[in-house]
Structure 1
Amino acid sequence: MILYTCMPQEMVYPTASDEFLNQSIITYKGVPVVVDKSEEGQYKIVRLLSTDPNDYLNGAYSPGTMIELTF
């Protein structure tokens, strides 16, 4: 079946909400990021929420980077 539409794929085929249960918003080194917790206790950066353009140029905050948090 072929579906011709101008709507984005995310609206036609919505993502299941259970994929977002492990995600949370934290501040890592002063920069707000969305992280996904893994089973090993590490966190993977999913999205950068900063308003500073220089943070997007810093490779330490790029999506997919694994970080370890100590509280």
Structure 2
Amino acid sequence: MLLYTPLSYEEIFPGEEDRHQLVVYNGRQCYVKKRDDETYELVQLISTDPYDFLRIEFTPGTIIKR
């Protein structure tokens, strides 16, 4: 779905970002979402290195045990 709007993501989908935590995983900063079974789901990788986005462990949806 594409939304053409001048509003920010937070204004359209309030509260969604509150559930995400910024953590360091395998030496890279990532946003994760806590799941019910005490694990975390990788939501977004924060990196300036294009190679990081090709690494399988940083695929969105990856389950992380902490």
Name which one, 1 or 2, has greater alpha-carbon Rg: 1
Instruction: Find out whether 1:11 has 2:7 as its counterpart.
Output: yes
Unaligned runs of 5+ in 1: 1-6
Normalising by the residue count of structure 2, what TM-score does the alignment of the two structures yield?
A: 0.79
Aligned residues: 62
Shift of 1:44: 0.4
1:37 to 16, 34, 38: 34
Shift of 1:10: 8.1
Partner of 2:22: 25
- Root-mean-square deviation (CA, aligned residues, Å) is 2.2
User: Matched residues, percent identical?
Assistant: 29
SS at match of 1:21: helix
Partner of 1:67: 64
Q: Distance in 2 between matches of 1:10 and 1:59?
A: 34
